[in-house]
Amino acid sequence: MTQAKSTTPCNGVSLPERIVPFPTSISAQARAALQRLVTAQGVPVNALMPLPAAEDTAAWQALKDQVDSQYAAAMKGLAEHLRARVDTLILGEAEIHVATPGASAHPQRACIDLHGGALLFGGGEACRVSAQQQADRYGARCYGVDYRLPPEHPYPAALDDCLAAYRHVLTQHAPTDIVLIGRSAGGNLALAMLLRGRDEGLPMPAGLVLLSPEVDLTESGDSFHTNRYMDVMLPLPLMQINRLYAGGADLGHPYLSPLFGQLDGLPPTFLQTGTRDLFLSNAARLHRGLVRAKVPVELYLGEGMPHGGFMGATPEDDDLAQEIGVFIEARWQTQR
């Protein structure tokens, strides 16, 4: 019996209820990392955390403090094995953790590290330790920007802090010796900072590394639907936090969603995402935009990889780290 065809087209694809298996095409360590982030029923643990009401500033602050303390605890053991010395610099409202490696064959080199955390978390001790990690990894001085965040400090406070840090680093290092690294929310700020810095006449750094960047706060890309719940690290969109960060500003403005900015004149870029990353569309669209703007760009797409990778202890994470290192070293070498 033939069913009558509807005259009204459907606006999407109806999917049957199913469990999507973790891929066998990734390492056993990577599969184990994914399994640790779901319940026995296969629900991502991170999807179970409720977010406060938009107007409940005290609840947002409590959530931020709770997550930041968890980040700090997770970093504590790691910090004991790092060698770089860290000093904290205050520039106006901006706080910068300056990590200096014990020995460096290239003291003129520098990287700026912009931490992730959904534009709400990740400051404090986690930011400080991340700067030490980068300094040890690349043998270069690293400036970790502990940018201000909501609910106390909505946009443009974080962007102002990052730009202040960049201006300072430019007084200490030639732009050709600087590489900018941004992860997730830090990727948003890294790209937005360069767009604003270019608009204000600042020189571009030697290279830009964007790791699963949160460059579209309007969340208009396809993967915000197709990878919802598939990304065990970031299973749900972040619109409530995006609006908290924006503080009433237009989410589509290029300084908030730099995907929509003019990308001409940006430095060579390393762009990373994964097939299960909620932000996959961000990277896909940004890659095409950079290509159209004739900006040299490398796209690293990790098989089965969720937002932020597999948490560090897998062959896939090692491979990604090696590729980032090759890119950064090539940028420094090219400028000599």
- Dmax of the chain from CA atoms? 78
The answer to whether domain 50-334 has CATH 3.40.50.1820 is yes
Parallel, antiparallel or unpaired: strands 297-302 and 269-274: parallel
Q: E-assigned strands of the chain? A: 85-91, 94-100, 110-114, 141-145, 178-183, 207-211, 269-274, 297-302
Residue-wise DSSP of 156-173: THHHHHHHHHHHHHHHHS
- State the pLDDT at residue 336: 58
Q: Which residues contact 68 (CB under 8 A, 6 or more apart)?
A: 121, 122, 123, 124, 125, 126
- State the pLDDT at residue 4: 54
Q: Residue 204 carries which DSSP code?
A: P
Q: How confident is the model at residue 89 (pLDDT cuts 50, 70, 90)?
A: very high
- State the pLDDT at residue 213: 98
For residue 155, pLDDT over 90 is answered with yes
Q: Which residues contact 43 (CB under 8 A, 6 or more apart)?
A: 229
pLDDT digits (tens, 9 = 90+) for 96-123: 999 999 877 789 999 999 999 999 999 9
For the chain, the residue count is 336
In percent, the amount of the chain with pLDDT more than 90 equals 86
pLDDT digits (tens, 9 = 90+) for 243-302: 999 999 999 999 999 999 999 999 999 999 999 999 999 999 999 999 999 999 999 999
Domain extents for the chain? 50-334
Range of 53-57, 79-83, 304-308 with top mean pLDDT: 304-308
How far is Cα 242 from Cα 164, in angstroms, rounded to an integer? Answer: 22
Which amino acid is it at 88? T
